[in-house]
Amino acid sequence: MTYRALCSFLKIAIGSGKDETYPFDLRTFCSTFGLDVSTTFNSLKILEMNGDLTLSEAIHQPTKLRLAIGNTALYDFQVHHEEFRPLISMLSRSYPGIFDQYFAIDEKVFAQRLKMTFPQIEKQLKELEKYGIVDVTWKTDMPTITLIHERLPDDYLSIQPEMYATRKAYAEKRLSAVRNFLQANECRTIQVLHYFGQSSEECGICDVCRSKILHESHAAYSITQTILDFLKEPRTEQECLLAFEISKDNLRKTLKTLHLEEKISYLNGKFHVK
Ligand SMILES: [Zn+2]
């Protein structure tokens, strides 16, 4: 997705773009396609790790060019376009390999040697580019992207297995963190705040808290029922304590409630169901 958008942003056709360097403004790119800046940066980093492109910092890049046609065609062109002869012969004489590879050039030096102005040199280079005589990467102070291979058809871009494995391991790590979070029997609010180094009381409204409260009230309900069954015979508080796994406080609270609700009576130190 990012790759396709990138190629269309840089106007790279499928099958071209290999070893070419393009000035790249991330913010403009993102706003053009409505993409999130940090997500896009991460995607580009993945493409870089995957060996599809390299990203460079914002440093000055000189104009680089190479001659895009052969000797014979170049000769023909010069016959019909005399005005370019000095510049073309200077290029081919200064850089013998320029038919095969890119060379960084300094337009100012060219202007001095050819007794032309800087804008004139630039204008001629632009025209030569338009005629398809030269391939040019214009100088820039922007960060650049260099494509390692030609643009692939949309379905052919694949993430290298080792790259995929790294991403997968990372994704699984995150997934297991989420799973731990979901499985932990602790208040979600406490867990989240703990993650951020803060502490909190149980919130009482998350799923863990709610199920705990439900469980507790359920437990309280069944203990009440058990006590009522037990008190079908008159029993002392001590007998109740021995019969149930319940704290003295809780037992007293429950007995008090039952007494107030007039479900049990208290006579001669013993509780009894009415
Ligand atoms: Zn909670």
220 CA distance to ligand 1 middle (Å):
20
What's the alpha-carbon Rg for the chain, to the nearest Å? Answer: 40
* 190-228 pLDDT, tens digit each: 877 776 667 778 888 888 888 888 888 877 788 888 889
Looking at residue 23, the DSSP 8-state letter turns out to be E
5 CA distance to ligand 1 middle (Å):
44
Strand partners, 134: 67
Q: What is the pLDDT of residue 2?
A: 83
Q: Please give the Cα distance from 232 to 214 (Å, whole number).
A: 28
Helical H segments across the chain, by residue range: 2-9, 26-33, 37-49, 71-80, 85-94, 107-114, 118-131, 161-183, 188-195, 207-230, 237-243, 248-260
Is the Cβ–Cβ distance between 206 and 188 less than 8 Å?
Answer: yes
Q: What is the pLDDT of residue 232?
A: 92
177 CA distance to ligand 1 middle (Å):
18
The structure tokens 């800087």 sit at: 118
CATH of segment(s) 207-273: 1.10.10.10
198 CA distance to ligand 1 middle (Å):
14
pLDDT class of 133 with cuts at 50, 70, 90: very high
Cβ-defined contacts of 124-128 (< 8 Å, 24+):
124/83, 124/84, 124/87, 125/63, 125/65, 125/87, 127/84, 128/84, 128/87, 128/88
Q: Please give the Cα distance from 258 to 76 (Å, whole number).
A: 111
256 CA distance to ligand 1 middle (Å):
30
191 CA distance to ligand 1 middle (Å):
9
pLDDT class of 174 with cuts at 50, 70, 90: low
225 CA distance to ligand 1 middle (Å):
28
216 CA distance to ligand 1 middle (Å):
14
CATH of segment(s) 2-60+143-154: 1.10.10.10
206 CA distance to ligand 1 middle (Å):
4
pLDDT surpassing 80 at residue 183: no
For 13, 142, 224, the CA distances from 258, given in Å and listed in that order, are 83, 80, 8
Provide the residue type at 274 as one letter: K
213 CA distance to ligand 1 middle (Å):
10
Strand partners, 265: 272
Looking at 26-35, 176-185, 231-240, 247-256, which range is the least confident one?
176-185
| Exposed / middle / buried, residue 125 (Cβ in 10 Å: 0-12, 13-18, 19+) | buried
201 CA distance to ligand 1 middle (Å):
8
Mean pLDDT value across the chain: 84
pLDDT class of 178 with cuts at 50, 70, 90: low
Q: 74: how many CB neighbours lie within 10 A of its CB?
A: 20
196 CA distance to ligand 1 middle (Å):
16
| Exposed / middle / buried, residue 129 (Cβ in 10 Å: 0-12, 13-18, 19+) | middle
